[in-house]
Amino acid sequence: MHHGNVFYGHAAVLARYCGMPAEPPPTIWGYLQHGWNTHDGFAVGHEFVPGIPKLVWSDVVVRRGWALGHRDYVVIGSPWAYLMLLRAEEIAAAGPGEGSIVFPFHGWEGQQIVGDHAAYADEVRSVEGDVPLTMCLYWNDFERDDVRKTYENKGFRVISLGRRGSMYRDGSQDFLDRQLEELLRHRRVVSNRLGSALFYAATVNREIGVYGDPMVLQNDHGVLGGMQRQTRMFPHLHQERVPSPIAGAAARSELGLDKVMSPTALRHRLGWDDVPDLVPTADELQTTGKG
């Protein structure tokens, strides 16, 4: 299994939905999309073995990939869509939340973000007003004292959801669950760039917004198009307060909420037909989903 398949606990979420062991999850036959982008659904430079399926979240990802000459795409819906089914009762019972949580554009282990965090903190406070504010930093920003303390000194509650891991090590397998809990805790979810967190937030009826210094990524890949491509593709999402119908429609399309499979169909697609059950499947717990 490609190590990217276990990033953010995605493989574990799919295993739970299918009634498979989640730690470690069974080997997935294919490359699983691990995040949202305006490219082909995968990291720039990702090497693929011909004929091995690219398991992506939505039809829009397939169209972007085909435009770049890639093939072997299979749409299965996002791990987030399956997590929503697993925790449907909790989502339905959640209140409106309080305050705002911020998911700023972040780098990763190989590339750092460059920008004025103090100025961004001030702008967020100006727009969000006198409400509780949470700044959710990616782990490498969270562990930088200069970045974390900038937001703490501005009155933010500063958290991290954990690490995505690398080469099957040090990943936080509850990352997505913790993200859901934080989204439900807040009324608004904002960022300085579009990303997975905003689409996730829209699916659980949280108001979203995109504003502020978009910052830059060291040695960014030109093929991704930067902020310019995001604003060109999604002009309606770049405002302080995005109307719920607009945000919801975009999230449904990008996350493949209407592409979820039944546990039986998903097991077959992931190559898990011969893996023994250890826990009740989602079919036994509820009847939602499509094959």
3-class SS string, 37-60: CCCCCCCCCCCCCCCCCEEECCHH
Provide the pLDDT for residue 276. 73
Does residue 245 form part of some domain? Answer: yes
Residue 128: domain span = 95-254
Does residue 105 form part of some domain? Answer: yes
Residues 204 and 192 in one domain: yes
Provide the pLDDT for residue 220. 58
Does residue 33 form part of some domain? Answer: yes
* Residue that the structure tokens 């936080």 belong to: 172
Q: Structure tokens of 146? A: 């200069």
Residues 82 and 207 in one domain: no
Q: How many domains does the chain have?
A: 2
Q: Which residues contact 45 (CB under 8 A, 6 or more apart)?
A: none
Residues 65 and 206 in one domain: no
> Other C-beta atoms within 10 Å of 214: how many?
21
Does residue 77 form part of some domain? Answer: yes
Indicate the SS3 state at residue 269: helix
Does residue 49 form part of some domain? Answer: yes
* Helices within 129-262 (DSSP H only): 139-142, 145-153, 175-185, 196-203, 226-233, 244-255
Residues linked to residue 159 through DSSP beta bridges, in sequence order: 136
Helix (H) or strand (E) holding 67: helix 59-67
Alpha carbons 115 and 67: distance in angstroms, whole number:
32
Alpha carbons 149 and 158: distance in angstroms, whole number:
9
Residues 207 and 100 in one domain: yes
Provide the pLDDT for residue 226. 72
For the domain that residue 171 is a member of, what is the CATH number?
Answer: 3.40.50
Does residue 291 form part of some domain? Answer: no
Residues 167 and 184 in one domain: yes
Does residue 132 form part of some domain? Answer: yes
Residues 221 and 246 in one domain: yes
Residues 210 and 245 in one domain: yes
Residues linked to residue 134 through DSSP beta bridges, in sequence order: 101, 157
Q: Kindly give the pairing relationship between strand 113-114 and strand 133-136.
A: unpaired
Q: What is the dihedral of CA 139, 205, 33, 107, to 10 degrees?
A: -30
Sequential pLDDT tens for the chain (291 residues): 688 899 999 999 999 999 998 988 999 999 999 999 898 889 777 889 999 999 999 999 999 999 988 999 999 999 999 999 999 999 999 999 999 999 998 765 656 677 899 999 999 999 999 999 999 999 888 988 999 999 999 999 999 999 866 655 666 789 999 999 999 999 999 999 999 999 999 999 999 999 999 887 755 555 565 778 899 999 999 999 999 999 999 999 999 999 999 999 999 999 999 887 665 555 555 544 433
Residues 110 and 235 in one domain: yes
Provide the pLDDT for residue 234. 96
Helix (H) or strand (E) holding 208: strand 207-210
Residues 239 and 100 in one domain: yes
Nearest to 113 by CA among 193, 231, 175: 193
Alpha carbons 22 and 103: distance in angstroms, whole number:
27
Q: What is the pTM of this model?
A: 0.90
Provide the pLDDT for residue 288. 44
Say if residues 275 and 20 touch (Cβ distance below 8 Å): yes
Residues 99 and 239 in one domain: yes
Alpha carbons 254 and 5: distance in angstroms, whole number:
19
Provide the pLDDT for residue 216. 74
Does residue 290 form part of some domain? Answer: no
Residues 249 and 263 in one domain: no
Provide the pLDDT for residue 291. 38
